[in-house]
Amino acid sequence: MSTIFSGSEIVEIGIEIEKNGKAFYEEVLKNASDDNAEVIFKYLANEEGKHIAVFEEILDSVKKYEPIEAYPGEYFSYMKALANEHVFTKKDVGVSIAKELKDDSGAIDVGIKFEKESIIFYEGMKKVVPEVEHKLLDSLIEQEQVHLSKLEALRENF
């Protein structure tokens, strides 16, 4: 089995996910009708921007990294499957999804899905980046969990 993704390609997918997340939250912020939703969407857009910078730092360390696998391509195949399921891996999809939404409630639901998928993807990413980067990924995962909690609390108010 050949390598489906390299470590750097997986990190680049992470960057794309965060770019789409940032664009999504910026777009839904424009149409937010609830003050609490507006505050959360603005916060999340800023957070996704910070995550882009973190992934760009990680990118340099994974250029030539090859994880130890049970069979060639094991983790990369898994990550391809996760990437195919993630709603925000395609270029510029964040804005287009946001424009289709009719209200804050729909934006919150999409945001929750995005944050959950990101957590799963970043957990998987830990297997294809050097161990020295795991603390950074753990930090990002914790931040995504906070984002998820904020969105869940916001949804309860609707």
pLDDT in tens, 127-158: 877 787 788 889 889 999 999 999 999 999 88
Taking all residues of the chain, what is their mean pLDDT, rounded to a whole number?
84
pLDDT of residue 39: 95
Residue 146, amino acid: V
List, in sequence order, the alpha helices (H) in the chain. Answer: 7-30, 35-61, 74-85, 93-100, 104-125, 134-156
Question: Domain boundaries in the chain?
Answer: 7-156
Mean pLDDT, range 59-72, rounded to an integer: 66
**Which letter does DSSP use for residue 1 in this model?**
-
Higher pLDDT, 101 or 11: 101
**Whole-angstrom Cα distance, residue 7 to residue 108?**
31
CATH class given for the domain over 7-156: mainly alpha
**Whole-angstrom Cα distance, residue 110 to residue 92?**
15
Residue 76 banded pLDDT, cuts 50, 70, 90 = low
